[in-house]
Chain A
Amino acid sequence: MMTSTATLASGTPKKAIDSLMLRYLVLIGLIVIASVGFSIANENFYSLTNIGILLRSIAVLFLLAMGMTFIMLTGGIDLSIGSNVAFSGAVGVLTLVTTGSAALGFATSILAGMLIGGINGFFIGRLKLSPFMVSLATYALARGLALVLYDANSINVDNAAFLWLGGVSWGNMPVVIPFVALVFIALSVLLYQTPFGRDVYAAGANANTAFVLGRRPERTLVWVYVLSGALAGLSAIITVGRVSSGQPWAGLYLEFDAITAVILGGTSLFGGRGKLLGTILGVLLYGIIINGLVLTGTNPYLQSLIKGLILLGVVLLDTLTQKGKAA
Chain B
Amino acid sequence: MSNRIDMKGITKSFFATKALDNVDFSCHASEVHALVGLNGAGKSTLMKVLGGIYSSDEGTIEVDGAAVTIKTPVDADNAGISMIHQELSLINELTVAGNIFLGRELKRAGTPFLDKREMARRVKAELDRFGLMLDPNMPVRELNSGEKQIVEIIRALMSNSWLIVMDEPTSALSEEDKERLFGFIERMKQEGIAIIYISHHMPEIFGIAERVTVMRDGEIVLSERIAETSEPAVIRSMTGRELAHFEKPHKEIAGEPLLTVDALSKPGSFEDVSFEVRPGEIVVLTGLRGCGAPELAKSVFGLDGDYTGTVSYLGSPLVPGRGPAVAVREGMGLVTENRDKNGILPALSVRDNIALPFLEKALRGGVLSRGHIEAVVDKAIRDTSTKTSSPDQEIRFLSGGNKQKICFSRWLDDDLKLLILLEPTRGIDVHAKADIYRIIEDLAGRGVGVLLLSYEIDEVTMLADRVITMYQGKSIARYNYPEFDKDQMLADMAGARI
Contacts and interface: CB of A to CB of B under 8 A. Distances in A.
B16 A205 contact: no
Given A5-B387, A9-B397, A214-B329, A198 B359 contact: yes
Interface stretch (A43-51, A135-143, A151-159, A188-196): A188-196
B392 A210 contact: no
Contacts of B367: 189, 193-194
Contacts of B311: none
A6 to B, nearest CB: 5
Given A202-B345, A205-B346, A13 B356 contact: no
B23 interface: no
A43 to B, nearest CB: 45
Nearest to B359: A195
Most buried by A among B342, B347, B410: B347
B15 interface: yes
Interface string A1-28: 1100110111011001100000000000
Interface string B412-432: 000000000000000001010
Given A1-B16, A193-B368, A202 B348 contact: yes
Name the interface size band of chain A. 35 or more
Nearest to A216: B325
B389 A201 contact: no
A201 B368 CA distance: 15
A9 B396 contact: no
A208 interface: yes
A127 interface: no
B343 interface: yes
Nearest to A196: B359
Contact of A206 (B16, B345, B389): B345
B358 to A, nearest CB: 9
A17 B390 CA distance: 12
A71 B147 CA distance: 44
A213 B410 contact: yes
Interface in B365-407: 366-368, 387-390, 392-394, 396-399, 402
B52 interface: no
B363 A195 contact: yes
A5 B388 CA distance: 10
B397 A273 contact: no
Nearest to B327: A214
A214 B324 contact: yes
Looking at A1, A13, A194, A215, which has the most chain B CB atoms within 10 Å of its CB?
A13
B347 A209 contact: no
Nearest to B332: A214
A128 to B, nearest CB: 15
Determine which residue in B15, B16, B327, B348 has the highest number of CB atoms from chain A within 10 A of its CB, and name it: B348
A40 B352 CA distance: 46
Contact of A212 (B15, B326, B342, B347): B342
Contacts of A209: 342-345
A325 interface: yes
B389 A9 contact: yes
B342 A16 contact: no
A301 B485 CA distance: 81
Given A13-B392, A206-B345, A212 B368 contact: no
A273 B348 CA distance: 8
Given A201-B352, A212-B303, A213-B410, A271 B347 contact: yes
A213 B324 CA distance: 7
B490 interface: no
A17 B327 CA distance: 35
A271 B410 CA distance: 22
A212 to B, nearest CB: 5
A2 B431 contact: yes
Contacts, number: 114
Given A9-B399, A195-B363, A211 B392 contact: no
A27 to B, nearest CB: 21
A121 interface: no
A272 interface: yes
Nearest to B400: A5
Given A195-B359, A212-B334, A5 B368 contact: no
A320 interface: no
B336 interface: yes
Contact of A202 (B334, B356, B389): B356
A321 to B, nearest CB: 12
A302 interface: no
B355 interface: yes
A210 B324 CA distance: 10
B360 interface: yes
B327 A1 contact: no
Interface string B287-329: 0000000000000000100000000000000000000111111
Nearest to B391: A13
A13 B389 contact: yes
B16 A5 contact: no
Contacts of B387: 2, 5-6, 9
Nearest to B326: A214
A6 B348 CA distance: 19
A98 to B, nearest CB: 38
Contacts of B397: 8-9, 12-13, 16
A210 B345 contact: yes
Contacts of A193: 367-368
Interface centre among A16, A199, A204, A268 (most CB of B within 10 A): A16
A10 B357 CA distance: 26
28 contacts: A1-B15, A5-B398, A9-B387, A12-B393, A13-B389, A13-B397, A17-B392, A189-B367, A194-B366, A195-B363, A198-B352, A201-B347, A201-B348, A202-B352, A206-B342, A206-B347, A208-B342, A209-B343, A211-B342, A212-B342, A214-B325, A214-B326, A214-B329, A215-B356, A268-B347, A271-B347, A272-B347, A327-B396
Give the 5 A-B CB pairs with smallest separation, nearest first.
A214-B328, A272-B347, A205-B345, A13-B393, A208-B342
Given A16-B392, A202-B345, 16 more contacts: A9-B387, A17-B392, A193-B367, A205-B348, A206-B342, A210-B356, A212-B324, A213-B328, A213-B357, A214-B326, A214-B328, A215-B356, A216-B325, A272-B347, A273-B347, A325-B347
